[in-house]
Structure 1
């Protein structure tokens, strides 16, 4: 699998993967990515900011990860813990999704590994992310990849989330 920055030509395929993921969440009773998120505006903004990466084989996109270097205001306060990564030196994984036809193939692991390499190359000390409490798949992957649960946080829209981070050597 080759991982590159996404381009505008990838938008429809990325949206399809995000919709597959939202449908999966709904089937699993996970109240994450329901409604009109993520949408075309989100994807176009991620691409324009140079923070949307895709993993693809020779024919199609297998997975998507968004890695931002902008600070996340929702991460300023944790209700029952603390971040391990420094407040002034972290990247954020905002969206991670795998093509529903390719589960269990290591796509998410490879995308997270790429995010870690990019974080290190850009000189940041850690990566932060959040997920829904019921998103057991993401929680498992994060733990498997060495991320630690850091506490509960609240997104700008009022949604509760679980925070995770990892220090990058």
Structure 2
């Protein structure tokens, strides 16, 4: 399969929202509390796209996955209980979701690799991410990709594990 990663368009909101809803159900079925409080919602996805931070993983013109990618913009990360590996420029990955039609193909992993390329293309060599303590699939992906646990951040009143990966300068 020949996947590519690009900024999402407004016309893709319905498909992206469908994928997010599938992920919400998966988190619930996994016993996770993540995304069980009405967040993210369709308005959040629309805002991502308006801000230019919504990205889609495409397989032959089909939206297979979604992520929000921010640069140097996550106020919650300033209040880390712990220590980041770096203090310079960084990319942030939020709202990673894969379509039910594409599960088991390693696409969340692939999204993170595309994010690494995107960051390096912007001369950024640090990626920061957080997830719920009980989001086991994401915790396994972060471990497999070499992310380092750095501490806890608080989002909407709940603690989340925070990770960072320093990218090699090539």
* Same fold by TM-score greater than 0.5: yes
Instruction: Give the TM-score of the pair, scaled to structure 2.
Output: 0.92
The count of corresponding residues between Structure 1 and Structure 2 is 166
Unaligned regions of 5+ residues in structure 1, if any?
A: none
1:35 to 19, 37, 42: 37
- Tell me how large the CA RMSD over aligned residues is: 1.3
Does the residue aligned with 1:76 lie in a helix, a strand or coil? helix
**Structure 2 equivalent of residue 128 of structure 1:** 128
Q: Is the 8 A contact 1:85 1:127 kept in 2?
A: no
**Structure 1 equivalent of residue 161 of structure 2:** 162
Distance 2:5 2:90 in 1: 21
Unaligned regions of 5+ residues in structure 2, if any?
A: none
Q: How does 1:33-72 map to 2 (within 5 A)?
A: 33-72=35-74
**Structure 1 equivalent of residue 138 of structure 2:** 138
Distance 1:59 1:168 in 2: 30
Compute the displacement of 1:59 (Å): 4.9
Q: Is the 8 A contact 1:91 1:128 kept in 2?
A: yes
Of stretches 11-20 and 98-107 in structure 1, the one that deviates more from structure 2 is 98-107
Distance 2:70 2:9 in 1: 16
Distance 1:108 1:83 in 2: 23
Compute the displacement of 1:58 (Å): 2.0
Over 2 Å off, 4+ runs: none
Q: Is the 8 A contact 2:72 2:89 kept in 1?
A: no
Given the alignment of the two structures, is residue 82 of structure 1 paired with residue 83 of structure 2, yes or no? yes
Q: Is the 8 A contact 1:64 1:97 kept in 2?
A: yes
Compute the displacement of 1:140 (Å): 0.5
Distance 1:38 1:8 in 2: 17
CA deviation map 1:89-142 (0-9, x unaligned)? 111101101112211212112111111111111122301010000101001101
Instruction: Give the TM-score of the pair, scaled to structure 1.
Output: 0.92
**Structure 2 equivalent of residue 107 of structure 1:** 107
